[in-house]
Amino acid sequence: MKLKQMADLNRRLIVSSILGAIVAFLIAFSTNNFVSILLMLSVAALAAIGIWEYAQLAVYKGIEPAVRWMVAAAVCEVIALYASLVFVDFPQLPVLVLAIAMAVFFLLHFRDTSGALLTIAVEFFGVVYVAAPLGLMLGVLYPVPYHGIPQEGRWWLVYLIFVTKITDVGAYFVGRLWGKTKMCPTLSPKKTIEGAAAGFISAVIASILIHVLGINFFDGHFFLSLTESVWLGMLMGTFGQIGDLAESLLKRDAVVKDSNTLPGLGGVLDMVDSLLFTTPIVYFFIRMH
């Protein structure tokens, strides 16, 4: 094992284990009203930190976005997505929040037009890139019934997180141990074709495993066939790694290693970069199933 390349592995494992236990507790009791609100607030907090980290990348590029307004818009978007699930009479509330946020970003530049085009684009894209996918995780946890039959949203969220993260784990270990062919050296020098292939295969295997467990434990409330688990796992394994590379692209352009300095994590964006691309896939699969 290339120990020098995995010097921070123990710290990452400890922090990841603690976070995993907290997430597991919240998911297990997510049907409780208090825990449900706590979950929403936790996702909103993640969105706020993530959008702040994204804004700092823009600052490193010499752009001065309205960080406070971006954070406010991100938090409101998550709350709106949650409210649209609780109050079914307002399904378009998240779209309304995005429209209002866009208008506000324009209004902020009416007096000073210098750099408005670039800054507004950065501000609005940040909310869509970070807050919207994180908010959709609540939509995965609290899905609409399938032909009148309630779906087990907790199992769907476990599916989303497990398949996404196992993709990262498979790519990380195989890439570090046996990877030789560089995949995107300009974006992430340590990522290899071998690691990417392992991540892809890991996602498909994990998806099939969740399908099998779902049938045995949630028969009738977890609608994912074997065929669907294969191609959905393929999509997850592909887009999860695209999400990882997408954040690397932003960091590379800003010339920073991590989006933050949180011990064992780097930053919130480093932690959820893959989920930002896989969450919409699972959410819309459930909605259109």
pLDDT at res. 9: 65
Among the candidates 109, 142, 175, a domain finishes at 142
Q: How many domains does the chain have?
A: 2
Same structural domain, 167 and 253: yes
Asked whether residue 3 carries a pLDDT value surpassing 60, the answer given is no
Task: Compare 10 and 71 and report the one with higher pLDDT.
Answer: 71
Q: What is the pLDDT of residues 178-205, one digit of tens each?
A: 888 888 888 887 888 999 999 999 999 9
Chain centroid to Cα 12, Å, comes to: 18
User: Is pLDDT at 239 greater than 90 in this prediction?
Assistant: yes
Q: pTM of the full predicted structure?
A: 0.90
Interval 267-277: pLDDT, tens: 899 999 999 99
Q: For residues 7 and 141, which has the higher predicted lDDT (pLDDT)?
A: 141
DSSP, collapsed to helix, strand or coil, labels residue 78 as helix
At 161, which amino acid appears? I
Most confidently modeled of 98-107, 139-148, 250-259? 98-107
The answer to the question of residue 24 being in a domain is no
Same domain, 101 and 219: no
pLDDT at 105: 96
Do 102 and 194 reside in the same domain of the chain? Answer: no
Q: pLDDT: is 151 or 129 the higher one?
A: 129
Q: Are 24 and 161 in contact (CB under 8 A)?
A: no
Inside any domain, residue 14: no
Worst-scoring range by mean pLDDT, 21-30, 55-64, 120-129, 134-143?
21-30
- Helix 226-254 vs helix 193-217: angle between axes, to the nearest 10 degrees? 140
What is the overall mean pLDDT for the chain?
Answer: 88
